[in-house]
Each structure stands twice: as structure tokens, then as C-alpha cells.
Structure 1
Amino acid sequence: MLGIAKGSGMIEPNMATMLVYILTDAIIPENKIDELLSRSVSESFNSISVDTDTSTSDTVALMANNSIAVDLAEFSETLSELCLELAKSVLEDAEGAEHLIEVEISKCVSKQEAKKIGKSIVNSPLVKTAVYGGDPNWGRIVMAIGKTSDILLSKKDIIIYFGSHKIFESEKEIVENIGKIRLYLKQEKYIKIKIEMNTGELNHKVYGCDLTESYIEINSYYQT
């Protein structure tokens, strides 16, 4: 299986400036190929964002020459791993990006709601700049959760982590972890933020990147 992806800016799949082509020798029944690809794309390319902006060339294509018999369950797992690897590579190559951000929304009422909350966080300019600046600003994360429309929300039940360090619980800051989190943000290039909503049992991960001066320079100096 071979995958090729292009994209750096205007990335919010659902019509983004992104092109992905995946080639395989596997024998894939025609009535299964769309199902397999859609499942993998949902957890990868449709769960990333660089700058919330879209374009007209959003494409993920899976092409099989039907040469080699495979176990479809194993193929599906490998396809999902490849799609996620490529999706993260798009973010790592994003315009001006210095950090990749993974946001996991857990214990949520539905996967759809978890994805919506995660996208609100990863798309927030204030969250993105806080990560760039190494600031464990949980208030910006709570803000991004709070502005998400039509969700089940109980602020007293929200728990927030940066990496393995808890920063917010029972509506209070975990003061003793602030120094550890600042160090984590400054040392790591792959930043993990986890939010426990405690409204249900379902989880979803979304992925994004930080916002730097370079993104502004690239896009303000660009001439059409």
C-alpha cells in the first residue's frame, strides 16, 4: 500500500486544499472499497484542521488493482493507520507550524459531539497561540468548549490534561502541575490535550497545529 498526500494551508477537510492518493495491490470487492475508505477518512483526514479554511480540491482516492488476496479486517486496520500517518504529515508540514496538536475528547455523549468539541478547540486561534507560546492556558480550552453549539455540557464535570498532567478539575486549576506543563509544552513538538467531558462513554480524537508568526507572513506576503 502506497499513500501520497499534499496540503499545507486551507486545510479543513470537507472541501480543503488537500489531495491524497492511496494505491494498493489488494483485492477489494467493489461494494466494500467506499466503506473501508470512508471509515479510515473519518478518523484521519476528516478529523484534522490547519486554519479552518477550505478550497475546492479536497480529494482522497483509493485505487486497487486487485492482484493480491488480503484479509479485509487487516487491510482496513492498515489503511486507517496509513491515513492517520498521512493526515499528521499534512499538519506537520502546515504553513508556519511548529507543533502538532492532538485533542482527545473522552467520555462524551456521542462521537459526533466529541468531534465537534475537539474541532472547536483545535481551531481556536487562542488555543493554537497558547500552544505555540508554551502557555498552559486551560481557560482558552474551556472557552472553546463553551462556545460549541448544541452540546451537553457540565462545567463542574470537565477534566483537562496536557500530556499526562492534569490542569483542571472540579472547576479549579491544578496549581502544582503548572510548571510541569510549561516544561512539557516547551520540550515537546507533539502536544496532547485530553478533555474528559463526563457526559457519556464515547471518544474521538482530532488533530491540528499551532499558529505562528510564519503563518501570517506566508499568507500576508502572498500575492495572487
Structure 2
Amino acid sequence: MQVLLREKQVIPRGFSFSAANADIDGTSSPKNDIGLLYCNTKASLCGVFTRNRVKAAPVLIGMDLVKRGVVRAVLANSGNANACTGEAGLDDAKRLMAAVASRLKIDADEVIPLSTGVIGVRLPVDKMLSKLDTLARGLGDNVDTFARSMMTTDTFPKIASRKVGQACILGVAKGSGMIAPDMATTLAIVITDAIMERGDLERTIKDAVRTTFNAITVDGDTSTNDTLIALSSNMLHAELEGVEKAIFEVIQELSMMVVKDGEGASKVVRINVSGCDTDEEARKVGKTVGNSLLVKTALYGSDPNWGRIMAAIGYSGVDIDTGSVSIHISGHPVVERGVEAGGYKEEDVRSALEGKDIHIDISVGSGSGSFTIWTTDLTHKYVDINAEYRS
């Protein structure tokens, strides 16, 4: 098994990309905000979607298309989520799907829509329709422009790729805020030209998501539009184990990019939880600590206030013996058996917290359950960004 990381992104066979500016949010920004991904053959499709009960129109459509399992194109847009728009929102998305299909000479149900941006506003369909000819004519290998067309508050495009023999795996994602996925991510697309049974592709994606996108949190908010889809053009034979490993690595890399680009974040924090009865209990503890505003602001201020971590553990909903809890911050013991650790030196912990990469190790007992959560600190800039960006 050989998985190679390429400095230059590798493009799976059969896929092409384009992007254009449709001024979807009405701000006259020069940024591309509509993108098209096209496969020149019928691609196998699987996906995972938000568990938010309020689901955007493209999510509802995507969930139905995944059951069919075949797709040829992805139409993605930023600046408008097409969420909370009712039947009209579904009609708008389907109108765009049909128009894309007409230009590409494929079926409308072979086009899957993805949207991100402001909630509660209908898509400017006419603006978007006017750019479809440009998208169809502009298809090529520039994945960077496609990835940028999905960006909202992101500061950089998120792209990762691997090669297994001659087979290629490529992933793109957007995400910076509203990150507490309970299914997948904000928006992410993974494509490959490796021949894979659809069941293998689906299993690989779901297994990868559990410990990557489902293990990150920036602000505790789960989006109405969270979607991760995977497509295979099924053009090349490749070792299944190697392809599965490469897909995991691509998804893992994308999820870490999302955390590192967390809105206003200045620090990336890894929370390792062990000693629980089950992995799910460990996940709940880690997620509760990672979402705690008091913990996140203490991290920003390099304040070694371990009491905030203890409090979050206590309200996680997991039945624990507080006398069995131990906490280390970047290798420094701060809590042993539920109380301040012997030899605890606040100045050493404060110094460690001034770094950009922090790890918090929490043990709550002797169980075999463990999980790792990735989060960020919470800064003044996060408040500024979300006070100014309408979502």
C-alpha cells in the first residue's frame, strides 16, 4: 500500500471545474460565488448531511439524490444558503439544476446543488442563470477557483489531495464559522477516479467523518447546510485499502484546515479524553469542554483556569467520579484526582498557553472509551466578524 502526498494538487480523471461571479449577495464583490464541478461519466455518489432539524433546500434535494447514487455535476454557491425558503427555495434549486443539465446535456437529477451563506433569503436565480454558460464553457482543471467560489468568511481555500498508484483523490471544503458538525462538515466534496463499490465509498466516508469533521468545533453552531459528498468516476483500478486510507487523510486534512481557519481563532486546541466507559461518552466530554465559552476565552487569554475545564466536564451529561479526574495542559499536570495537582505551577501553564498549538489531556477514570476533539480559542475578532456578517 502506497499513499503519496503531492505538493501540487492532483486532479482525478474525468472531473473538471469552473467558477464565476454572479453577485449573489448583492454587495458587488468581485469574488467568484458560483462554481461548477462536472464529471464526464456517471459518477457514484454518497454523502452525509446535517442533523440540524432545519435543513436547507439543497440539503433536502441532496439527501434524495444520494439515495439514487449517481451524479454528473455539482453546482455550488456562496452568499446565500437557500435555507428557510420553503417550497420556493426547492423550486429555485430545481430550476437551476435543470438549467445546468440542459447546458451539459445530462439529466436534471444528475446535478446536485450545494449552498452556503445567508439564511432566509431566496436565491437570485436570474443572476445565477446568467452565469451558467460561462461556467459550462470555462470547465478545466483550476480547482482553486472552484474552491474559492464556496468561501464565505474563510481566509483561504481548503484543498487536499493524495495519489495511490495512478489513482487520484481530491477534496475541497469551505468552513470557518458555524462549525460544530454533527454529521460531516460545512461544505465538502471528495472526488476520486478509483474504481470503488458504492458501499465501500459510503463506508469509507462515514468512518472518516466520525473522527474528523464530527470531532471539530469552532463555535458550537451546527449549520442548516452541512454537507459532505463523495464522487467516484470509477476509471482506474487501485488497491482498496490504499484508496480508503488516502480518502481518510484527505478528509482529515480538510477538517484541520477548517479548525485552523476558525473565525478569529488564534490557537488550535486538541482535547484528548480517556477513561470513559465508551468512546461516545468521551466524545461528549470533549465536545462540551471544546464548546465552553469560558474555556475558550481562558485559552485566548492564556489563563490557566482549570476550574472552567472541570466545570464543563461536570455538566457534559456523562456520569463520572470527579475524584478520578486528571487534567494536563500541554504536558503540565493541573488536576489530579479532582483537585489541584501537587507541584502545580501556574506560570508554567500560562507560558504553555501562550503557544499557538495547545493540547488538553483529560482522564476521567479507568474505562477504555476515548476520543479526540479539536477546537479553537474565542477572540474579539470572532465577535467582530459575526457582528458584521449577516448569517
User: Residue 56 of structure 1: which of 211, 216, 224 is its match?
Assistant: 224
Q: What pairs with 1:126-145 in structure 2 (closer than 5 Å)?
A: 126-145=294-313
User: Residue 7 of structure 1: which of 169, 175, 186 is its match?
Assistant: 175
Q: What pairs with 1:150-161 in structure 2 (closer than 5 Å)?
A: 151-161=318-328
- Return the offset for 1:29: 0.9
- Return the offset for 1:135: 1.2
Q: Which residue of 2 aligns with 1:215?
A: 382
User: Residue 116 of structure 1: which of 284, 289, 293 is its match?
Assistant: 284
Q: Which residue of 1 aligns with 2:189?
A: 21
Check whether the contact 1:16–1:53 (CA below 8 A) recurs between aligned residues: no
Larger Cα-atom Rg: 2
Q: What pairs with 1:117-196 in structure 2 (closer than 5 Å)?
A: 117-149=285-317, 151-174=318-341, 175-186=343-354, 188-196=355-363
In 1, Cα distance between the equivalents of 2:336 and 2:373? 22
- Return the offset for 1:31: 1.8
Q: Which residue of 1 aligns with 2:97?
A: none
SS of the residue corresponding to residue 253 of structure 2 reads helix
Structure 1 residue identity aligned to 2:309: I
Q: Sequence identity, in percent?
A: 38
Question: Tell me, which stretches of 5 or more residues in structure 2 are unaligned?
Answer: 1-168
SS of the residue corresponding to residue 365 of structure 2 reads coil
Distance 1:141 1:182, change over 3 A: same
In 2, Cα distance between the equivalents of 1:171 and 1:114? 17
Scaled by the length of structure 2, what TM-score is found?
0.54
Q: What pairs with 1:97-116 in structure 2 (closer than 5 Å)?
A: 97-116=265-284
Q: Higher relative contact order at CA 8 Å, sep ≥6: structure 1 or structure 2?
A: 1
In 2, Cα distance between the equivalents of 1:124 and 1:16? 21
In 1, Cα distance between the equivalents of 2:323 and 2:242? 41
In 1, Cα distance between the equivalents of 2:184 and 2:363? 29
Structure 2 residue identity aligned to 1:170: R
- 44-53 or 119-128, larger mean C-alpha shift: 44-53
SS of the residue corresponding to residue 344 of structure 2 reads helix
CA-atom RMSD, angstroms?
A: 1.7
SS of the residue corresponding to residue 178 of structure 2 reads coil
Count of residues in correspondence between the two structures: 222
Check whether the contact 2:179–2:221 (CA below 8 A) recurs between aligned residues: yes
- 213-222 or 176-185, larger mean C-alpha shift: 176-185
Check whether the contact 1:12–1:54 (CA below 8 A) recurs between aligned residues: yes
In 1, Cα distance between the equivalents of 2:304 and 2:249? 30
1:165-193 residue CA offsets vs partner (Å, 9 max, x unmatched)? 2111022223434222211111x212111
- Return the offset for 1:117: 0.7
Check whether the contact 2:325–2:338 (CA below 8 A) recurs between aligned residues: yes
Question: Tell me, which stretches of 5 or more residues in structure 1 are unaligned?
Answer: none
